[in-house]
Structure 1
Amino acid sequence: MRVLFTSFPGNTHFFNSVPLAWALGAAGHEVRVASSPELVDTITRAGLTAVPVGSAETLKEKTRRAMAERDHGSVEQWQRKAGGPAHQQAASRGRLLGWDDLFRLYEVAIAPAAGLMNDSMVDDLVAFARRWQPDLVLWDAASYAGAIAAAATGAASGRVLYSHDTDASMRARFVRLKEGRPPGDRRDPMREWITGWTDKYELEFAETLFTGHFTIDQLPASFRVDTGLNYISTRYVPYNGPAVHPQWLWEAPAAPRVLMTFGLSVREWGHQQIMSVEQIQDTLDAVAGLGIELVVTLPDEQRERLPRVPANTRIVDFVPLQCVVPSCSAVIHQGSPGGFNICLLYGVPQLVVSIAPDAHLKSRHLADTGAGLSIEPGEVTGAKVGAALARLLDDPSFQTGARRVRQELIGQPSPAELVPELERLAARHRR
């Protein structure tokens, strides 16, 4: 069969689908990956065939233009106008938003962001899909252009999650609250956005444009958000681009190794930074006496701003997580899907400091399984990080909890084992 992957130009979102694309290609299926031109080199470096769609304008350029057109000033100001503080406070505690806050979030942030990430790709993507005629379209959960292309060609539509399914959970709550509103007060910004495209292509609106016919989930099944949708489990397989296993990792560490990493996306989008240079220095000083080998990933410009680097600390610009995490006794990270999932995969206790929309879910699952700890970003100090890290290293229950989650995760079908199920789903849902 022919399988079309789609992703907006976010590296980590695309990386999430690469092992599955490889598995489908190895099984003899034709695979194409469509995205904006800025992602083409990243796609081809993964050994996959790219289909450039949409304008050459980069996502950063689109974001700056959108902020200027809406007089947002900055990403942070955009978030505040969307009710960011209310949303973040609710999300951090797992509290459900009421109609007013939820509607404002959809109107000011979620629907405009969907347009920002997808609009420029839709026309080209639909045109390509109509010519190539895919049997199955697998789209990153934020890349609704793929769902539109699937509907326009009658292909089966599968959504690929990159983390907890907070989008579907929030969408289901929005629809329920909307149905309880007076008839004249039922605006739906997401539906208004996507029907601009379905009307153009004479398609009927359906909620599957937001959810797909099915959803592929790489988290352990016990971590799943209950939305009533059809979820297909698969094992997480790490990929983060071309990688080199450095020589300093060839030997086992002389002391327990701890990795502190903040991900690559933070370097591109400064508003995602969770720890200042001062907080990083405070943390390095606080853990200097723990008898560990600390590996920290930092770009050179941040490294140069550190007043001192303790003797037990190695600072590198980048190291592939799949190379370093298996040798670690604990990992401190910002809650990215890659960092979170790879710690689960290798059974390594983790300390999460996150501003992600699903931060409360990550914290809850780590607490429930005993696989790790979390600290609220606004409460980060070197002393708190040091105390939490000491707990992870000294209490064997965290290692036990992390290994238990690992057993659940590796028990899920690998991407290769998932291929026959995708063949069945494609046959069932395509027109």
Structure 2
Amino acid sequence: MRVLFATWAAPSHLFPMVPLAWAFRAAGHEVRVAAPASGAAAVAATGLSAVAAGPDVAVAQMAGRERLAPWRSRGEWATGWSARPDLLGEAELDVLRALADKQLMVADAMLGDLVAFGRRWAPDLVVYDSLCLAGPVAAAALGVPAYGFVAGSPAVTRIERLHPSTGPLPAYLRLFERFGAEPVVEPRGWLDPCPPSLRLPFDGDRTELRHVSYNGPGTVPGWLLDDPGRPRVVVTGGAAGSKYGGQAGAGLFRDTLEAVTSLGAEAVLALTPAQAENLGPVPEGTRVVRSLPFHLLFPACHAVVHHGGSGTAFAAFAAGLPQLVLPQAPVLAELARSMEARGAALVLGADEQEDPRRFATAVARLLDDNDLTRAARNLQDEVATMPPPSALATTLTPA
């Protein structure tokens, strides 16, 4: 087969799909990964073949618009909102409309090149990041089946609808009309790496897919193989943490680092190169690492503290680590609260993140609570039962 992957952003939306793309390659299929021109280098760095689709859209500027500001701010919306947008007020619904407008603008910019490439290369199958609305439109224009790769909450996965009870947005349907394609409002299926016990309600057909952590290449440092003689706690904002406001910037979770070191544990601050550029002073006893893949780092740690991103959380599931989550946006709080309900994570909400004493109490519990560790190990076992990407590379076919 020829399999065309599509994403709208790199690296946080690209990385979760990389193991599946490589599974197709290992099975003997041809793979191309389409992304806006600004993401082509990130695709190429994975060893996969990149296709630059469309001119760059000023995504960073759009993300900073006033209507989208709450999407990048600490705070929580009504519990269960991602499965039931009817719980939201008009202000929150307008944020989702702004998010849909942004994704539709990116899709419109990508589609000309994406469809033109598809008509020349003739893929048999399209796999798209659920926020990359160009993916299903291109598949329909090419007359091939598509699978959506679930990213984030159900509300984000179906952003072209805004509400489960409504049909697709008119602007989304116009993208199909542009290519004379019959609108396809449901993909053939959704590929979902979320452990079943943590899934939020969702009206699509899901195919389980084990999350395999990928954060780029790396070299195993010698210290990682040594026993530190004390608990090791990693603190990170993941690949996307720097795009959120508040503490998820250069001085990442400073109160948490101070709490970890004050309790005698080893703090490991894991950063991307962009986050490290503006790094200020960190508490004594903090080890700073740059671009160290989570699948190497996490198994050598006792616990992880992070901003709430699904890529970081899923990597912690695979390593069996208890988590302290400091959600930096409403969409990140949804998964965090689901993990908390399962007993595998502690969560500090926006108000609690303003009180340094809360960090010390939470980290102390993270280090000593056996129930948290037991629940995290149970999640690890659950993840291990899910089919790996290699299994799906043999079952996802055009037929």
| TM-score, length-scaled by structure 2 | 0.89
Alignment-derived partner of residue 70 in structure 1: none
CA RMSD in angstroms, aligned pairs only: 2.7
Alignment of 1:35-114 (within 5 A): 35-55=35-55, 57=56, 59=57, 61-64=58-61, 66=62, 74-75=64-65, 77-80=66-69, 89-91=76-78, 94=81, 96=85, 97-98=87-88, 100-101=90-91, 104-107=94-97, 109-114=98-103
Partner of residue 385 from structure 1, selected from 331, 351, 359 = 359
1:342-361 superposed Cα distances (whole Å, 9 cap, x missing partner): 11111000000113443343
Identity %: 31
Distance in 1 between the 2:216 and 2:132 partners?
A: 20
Alignment of 1:283-302 (within 5 A): 283-298=256-271, 299-302=275-278
Distance 1:288 1:407, change over 3 A: same
Cα distance, 1:169 vs. partner?
6.3
Partner of residue 262 from structure 1, selected from 237, 241, 259 = 237
Partner of residue 166 from structure 1, selected from 143, 155, 160 = 155
Alignment of 1:7-406 (within 5 A): 7-55=7-55, 57=56, 59=57, 61-64=58-61, 66=62, 74-75=64-65, 77-80=66-69, 89-91=76-78, 94=81, 96=85, 97-98=87-88, 100-101=90-91, 104-107=94-97, 109-168=98-157, 174-176=163-165, 178=166, 191-208=169-186, 212-267=187-242, 269=243, 271-275=244-248, 280-298=253-271, 299-304=275-280, 306=281, 309-310=283-284, 312-380=285-353, 381-406=355-380
| 8 Å Cα contact 2:150-2:190 kept in structure 1 | yes
Task: Give the 3-state SS of the residue equivalent to 2:152 in structure 1.
Answer: coil
Distance in 2 between the 1:354 and 1:44 partners?
A: 31
Distance in 2 between the 1:51 and 1:277 partners?
A: 32
2:387 corresponds to 1:413: yes
Distance in 2 between the 1:3 and 1:85 partners?
A: 33
Distance in 1 between the 2:340 and 2:59 partners?
A: 39
Distance 1:47 1:158, change over 3 A: same
Which amino acid in the other structure matches residue 112 of structure 1? D
More helix, by proportion: 1
Distance in 2 between the 1:43 and 1:147 partners?
A: 20
Q: Which has the larger radius of gyration?
A: 1
Task: Give the 3-state SS of the residue equivalent to 1:174 in structure 2.
Answer: coil
Distance in 2 between the 1:389 and 1:231 partners?
A: 35
Task: Give the 3-state SS of the residue equivalent to 1:32 in structure 2.
Answer: strand
Cα distance, 1:11 vs. partner?
1.1
Which amino acid in the other structure matches residue 123 of structure 2? P
Unaligned runs of 5+ in 1: 68-73, 179-187
| 8 Å Cα contact 2:76-2:329 kept in structure 1 | no
Which amino acid in the other structure matches residue 265 of structure 2? I
Cα distance, 1:333 vs. partner?
0.4
1:71-90 superposed Cα distances (whole Å, 9 cap, x missing partner): xxx44x2325xx76999542
Distance 1:218 1:85, change over 3 A: closer
Which amino acid in the other structure matches residue 141 of structure 1? S
Cα distance, 1:156 vs. partner?
0.7
Distance in 1 between the 2:348 and 2:94 partners?
A: 28
1:66-122 superposed Cα distances (whole Å, 9 cap, x missing partner): 58xxxxxx44x2325xx7699954256747435744653344x12321123222110
Distance in 1 between the 2:80 and 2:203 partners?
A: 22
| 8 Å Cα contact 2:96-2:162 kept in structure 1 | no
Distance 1:173 1:87, change over 3 A: farther
Cα distance, 1:327 vs. partner?
1.0
**Number of residue-to-residue matches in the alignment:** 392
Distance 1:191 1:170, change over 3 A: closer
Which amino acid in the other structure matches residue 104 of structure 1? D
After the TM superposition, which of the residue ranges 362-371 and 153-162 deviates more from structure 2?
362-371
Task: Give the 3-state SS of the residue equivalent to 1:149 in structure 2.
Answer: helix
Task: Give the 3-state SS of the residue equivalent to 2:14 in structure 1.
Answer: helix
Alignment-derived partner of residue 422 in structure 1: 396
| 8 Å Cα contact 1:165-1:224 kept in structure 2 | no
Distance 1:40 1:378, change over 3 A: same
| 8 Å Cα contact 2:241-2:249 kept in structure 1 | no
Distance in 1 between the 2:49 and 2:249 partners?
A: 39
